């Protein structure tokens, strides 16, 4: 397993693989890898001859008051996870390698980014789409793997790839959870023990919504009330959003009759966590 920092070297290695007829799977990450990332690398390893993992904390997808500076970083630990999960190459560029001083081109996906995290984190998806496009152009993978925990990100990237004819297949992989239900996230490391216990309210509230849907409840308002009620019972939780949307268009719906995405974002102390599930009728 090799670690490469510059774009021209990573291109040379991948071009050589492709000349040999080897397929390339790609897992873009911001590092501080956990079992969720490992599951993406394992999925890529099963379906491709070679697996590239990028580790890059992308500055342009963070808002001015967000956690760019304190975002956890540990390349040594990440390298072990990539290697044991079946990765062949880590692309770990510096910010200046990715963004020259005169950088001025951006990629934006409209409408799908209007709600959910897009509404709460202005500019976030512009930063994500720009860096993912750059990474796709550098790595030129056959398939790229993204977690369903970032459901809006996955939908936005699928749309971007379709709209811009980027020749890559996007594969969504299921959310990986701790034994008690908390969705794995690099940001879970910010939680102290009291907050870690409080964070369970996210998955609990979604479980209650799932039960209600299974029992036949179809009113978005009632499902939303169930989730809000559970979240509000936790004193350390501050709701950022609770949304029930069509799983393709990501627009709000009143009555549940098709495939829906229920997505929540909640601050536990200062840490913003997200979770979701898709429900198909
Ligand atoms: O999901 C992430 O970790 C990031 O948004 C991504 C896709 C690696 C782009 O920086």
Residues 6+ apart with CB under 8 A from 3: 75, 79, 89, 90, 92
Statement to judge: residues 140 and 22 lie in one domain: yes
Which among 108, 142, 173 is the end of a domain? 173
Which residues belong to the annotated binding site? 30-37, 61, 147-150, 153, 176, 184-187
Per-residue pLDDT, 156? 98
Q: From the CA of 54, give the closest atom in ligand 1.
A: 8
Q: From the CA of 61, give the closest atom in ligand 1.
A: 10
Statement to judge: residues 201 and 264 lie in one domain: yes
Q: How many CB atoms lie within 10 A of CB 68?
A: 14
Cα 198 to ligand 1 centroid, rounded to whole Å: 26
Instruction: Check 4, 10, 26, 37 and give the catalytic one.
Output: 37
- The answer to whether residue 70 sits within a structural domain is yes
Statement to judge: residues 121 and 166 lie in one domain: yes
Per-residue pLDDT, 155? 98
Statement to judge: residues 129 and 212 lie in one domain: no
107: containing domain: 2-173
Cα 117 to ligand 1 centroid, rounded to whole Å: 14
- The answer to whether residue 102 sits within a structural domain is yes
Q: Give the containing element (helix H, strand E) for 240.
A: strand 237-246
**What's the number of CA atoms in the CB half-sphere (13 Å) around residue 243?**
23
CATH of the domain at 24: 3.40.50.620
**Mean pLDDT score of the chain, rounded to an integer?**
98
- The answer to whether residue 131 sits within a structural domain is yes
Q: How far apart are CA 153 and CA 116, in angstroms?
A: 10
Statement to judge: residues 65 and 154 lie in one domain: yes
How many structural domains compose the chain? 2
Mean pLDDT, contiguous 10-residue spans, the chain (281 residues): 98 98 99 98 98 98 97 98 98 98 98 97 98 99 98 98 98 98 98 98 98 97 98 98 97 94 98 97 84
CATH of the domain at 261: 3.30.1300.10
Would the CB of 127 count as within 6 Å of ligand 1?
no
- The answer to whether residue 222 sits within a structural domain is yes
Per-residue pLDDT, 139? 99
Per-residue pLDDT, 41? 99
Q: From the CA of 128, give the closest atom in ligand 1.
A: 9
Per-residue pLDDT, 271? 98
Which among 173, 195, 219 is the end of a domain? 173
Q: Is 124 a catalytic residue?
A: no
Contact predicate 3/75, CB 8 Å: yes
Would the CB of 61 count as within 6 Å of ligand 1?
yes
Statement to judge: residues 107 and 241 lie in one domain: no
Statement to judge: residues 161 and 236 lie in one domain: no
Would the CB of 28 count as within 6 Å of ligand 1?
yes
Statement to judge: residues 165 and 220 lie in one domain: no
Statement to judge: residues 129 and 232 lie in one domain: no
pLDDT digits (tens, 9 = 90+) for 55-99: 999 999 999 999 999 999 999 999 999 999 999 999 999 999 999
Would the CB of 152 count as within 6 Å of ligand 1?
no
pLDDT digits (tens, 9 = 90+) for 219-231: 999 999 999 999 9
Statement to judge: residues 41 and 146 lie in one domain: yes
Which among 145, 173, 201 is the end of a domain? 173
Statement to judge: residues 123 and 60 lie in one domain: yes
Q: How far apart are CA 199 and CA 269, in angstroms?
A: 10
Q: Give the containing element (helix H, strand E) for 27.
A: strand 24-29
Per-residue pLDDT, 157? 98
- The answer to whether residue 229 sits within a structural domain is yes
């Amino acid at each position: 397993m090799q670690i490469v920092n510059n774009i021209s070297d990573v291109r040379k290695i991948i071009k050589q693989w492709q000349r040999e007829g080897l397929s390339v799977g790609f897992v873009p990450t911001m590092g501080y890898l956990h079992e969720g990332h490992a599951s993406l690398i394992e999925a890529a390893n099963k379906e491709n001859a070679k697996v590239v993992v990028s580790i890059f904390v992308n500055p342009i997808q963070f808002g001015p008051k967000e956690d760019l500076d304190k975002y956890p970083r540990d390349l040594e630990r990440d390298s072990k996870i990539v290697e044991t999960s079946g990765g062949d190459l880590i692309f770990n560029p510096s910010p200046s390698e990715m963004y020259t001083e005169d950088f001025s081109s951006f990629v934006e996906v409209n409408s799908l980014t209007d709600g959910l995290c897009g509404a709460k984190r202005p500019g976030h998806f512009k930063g994500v789409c720009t860096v993912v496009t750059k990474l796709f152009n550098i790595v030129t993978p056959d398939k790229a793997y993204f977690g369903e925990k970032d459901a809006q990100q996955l939908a936005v990237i699928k749309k971007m790839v379709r709209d811009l004819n980027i020749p890559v297949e996007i594969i969504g992989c299921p959310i990986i959870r701790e034994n008690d239900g908390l969705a794995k996230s690099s940001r879970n490391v910010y939680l102290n023990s009291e907050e870690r216990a409080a964070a369970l309210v996210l998955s609990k509230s979604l479980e209650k919504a799932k039960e209600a849907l299974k029992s036949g409840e179809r009113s978005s308002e009632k499902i939303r009330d169930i989730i809000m009620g559970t979240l509000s019972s936790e004193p350390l939780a501050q709701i950022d959003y609770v949304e029930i949307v069509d799983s393709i268009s990501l627009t709000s719906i009143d009555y549940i009759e098709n495939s829906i995405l229920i997505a929540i974002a909640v601050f536990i102390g200062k840490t913003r966590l997200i979770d979701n599930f898709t429900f198909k009728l």
